Structure 1
Amino acid sequence: MNTFLYDVKTKCPVCGREFTYTKVRMSHLKVLERRKDLYTKYDGIEPFFYDPIVCPNCGYAALSDVFNNISDEGKKEILSKITTNWTKRKFSGKRTPQKALESYLLSLYCSQLKNDKDIIFAKTCLRIAWIYNILNDSSNENRYLKISLDMYKKAYEGFEAYDGEIQLIYMIGELNKILGYRDEALKWFNKVINHPDRKNHSLIVNYAKDEWQSLKI
């Protein structure tokens, strides 16, 4: 296996069976680029490819930090809508962009079935857009950027916490900028720059200032 990767065993909260999934040794990675949409490019690997954990036995998938967050009703939905038609397949080991995309789309569907928070939908759709960018599929990239933006706005309107409110506001501004909505982007970046908690988030505030100035030129 790639030296950046290692395997971990866990128990599926839906079907109860044990399986192996792959994690990334983040401390071994070299950063090549940090984009303003918070995507980070590393040398030799795409760590975000490995975030969705997928049970090969029943098809349940979720981002790693919410994998075990599922209600009894959610389990019933997964077993009914996914497991009954599931063909067992492997998701551990190295993931190609296509395999990563499959895991994220499956995770997104599971999020719908178990009624995850809006912020999970936003985060998942943004990462799907990143994969389509890597695959040079601009049509689907824009489609998922728009969905991500809508879900970030819903999360903000619903007062959901996501690494602090200021980062949530910043992402709304950044996605508006990427999608060409200049006036909306300026409005949200301005909210970041003048946020009461701005002193505790200097990186995000500096990003917002840079983006605001680039749009005003």
Structure 2
Amino acid sequence: MLRFAKAPQEEREVKISFFSKEPIRCPVCDTSFQREEMLSGGGRLIAGPLTDELHRKYEASLKYGAVYPLIYQVTVCPNCWFAALPDDFPRLPRESRLKAEDDREGRIAAVGHIFPSVDFTSCRTLKSGTAATYLALRCYDYYPGEFSPTIKQGITALRCGWLFDELNERYPHQHYDWLALLCKRKARFFYREAINREQTGKEALSGLKYFGPDTDKNYGYEGALYLMALLELKYGPREPEESRRQALAESRRTIAKIFGLGKSSREKPGPLLEKARDLYEQISAELEDEDGE
């Protein structure tokens, strides 16, 4: 099955996505379904700017309109609404399936409060894609440590925040901006927790092959460290002031150490290094302002 979108100024329809021929079986409720995949190429994606959160924005094209790659990144069972990234979806351990089944009504109700009429049997929309990402954030609670669930919750929370931003632009005054902020605060918590667990040996990051955080480029472990510091600056608690200061000072040391700031370095060229320099300066400016008060 192919998904189509009306092309502006054209009578014919153009393809945006398709449903896979091979069925997928839900490990929780045993439902068989087909996953929707986004078609690539053909001018569907026109790359726009890269944000400080390493989120790639895309411009709408005359032929395809607005296309959101992130809405296709999560596999969702249309029956029980279990959701995860494609590689993890069929690999939910048997001992975790009862937990996922017991939480079925809870996750459906949680999404229903935000999107009362969402449908995972039809083609993905911005709303259903956001709902799918939110479900994945919740469902990674079912996975054990060898899957690196904490960092995946950080990534899905951040992506969910970006999608709520898009919804807020399209449908303002419906509190999507508040939900975006909430998700980004969750992302800040999960990124810090994931790095802490990795450094203390509680949960390795080896279960994650693609750090993203977006679909256009994998910024790896260094990208995760950068985001941990950035999210702390933007979304971390402001009080108590001493805790805020300690968290920012730690973030600045991490950025300086990893990216070699303060001395010449050509080992890490590209946008990540430039954004890390900007972040270092922003953190330093806030710390200096506090010293001057």
Q: Following TM superposition, by how much is the alpha carbon of 1:200 offset from its aligned partner in structure 2, in angstroms? A: 5.3
Q: Following TM superposition, by how much is the alpha carbon of 1:212 offset from its aligned partner in structure 2, in angstroms? A: 2.5
Structure 1 pair 199–69 and aligned structure 2 pair: CA distance change class (3 A): farther
SS in 1 for 2:81: coil
1:90 and 2:120 aligned? yes
Q: Following TM superposition, by how much is the alpha carbon of 1:127 offset from its aligned partner in structure 2, in angstroms? A: 1.2
Alignment of 1:1-217 (within 5 A): 1-2=3-4, 3-8=15-20, 9-28=23-42, 29-43=45-59, 44-82=66-104, 89-96=119-126, 98-115=127-144, 117-136=149-168, 137-159=176-198, 160-161=204-205, 163=211, 164-179=220-235, 184=248, 185-194=251-260, 199=267, 202-213=270-281, 216=284
Q: C-alpha distance in 2, partners of 1:19/1:215? A: 48
Q: C-alpha distance in 2, partners of 1:34/1:86? A: 33
Q: C-alpha distance in 2, partners of 1:102/1:108? A: 10
Q: Following TM superposition, by how much is the alpha carbon of 1:85 offset from its aligned partner in structure 2, in angstroms? A: 9.1
Cα deviation 1:138-190 (Å, max 9, x = unaligned): 32222221211111111111224354321110111221233377962534432
Instruction: Verify the 8 A CA contact 1:52 1:62 in the aligned structure 2.
Output: yes
* Aligned residues between the structures: 215
Instruction: Verify the 8 A CA contact 1:20 1:92 in the aligned structure 2.
Output: no
Q: C-alpha distance in 1, partners of 2:153/2:227? A: 14
Q: Read off the aligned partner of 1:102 and give its amino acid letter.
A: A
Q: Percent identity?
A: 20
SS in 1 for 2:53: coil
Structure 2, unpaired ranges of 5+: 5-14, 60-65, 110-117, 169-175, 199-203, 212-219, 239-243, 286-293
TM-score, normalised via structure 2 length: 0.63
Higher relative contact order (CA 8 A, sep 6+): 1
Q: C-alpha distance in 2, partners of 1:85/1:143? A: 17
Q: Following TM superposition, by how much is the alpha carbon of 1:210 offset from its aligned partner in structure 2, in angstroms? A: 3.0
Structure 1, unpaired ranges of 5+: none
CA RMSD of aligned residues (A): 3.1
TM-score, normalised via structure 1 length: 0.82
Instruction: Verify the 8 A CA contact 1:74 1:113 in the aligned structure 2.
Output: yes
- Compare CA radii of gyration and give the structure with the larger one: 2
Structure 1 pair 151–167 and aligned structure 2 pair: CA distance change class (3 A): same
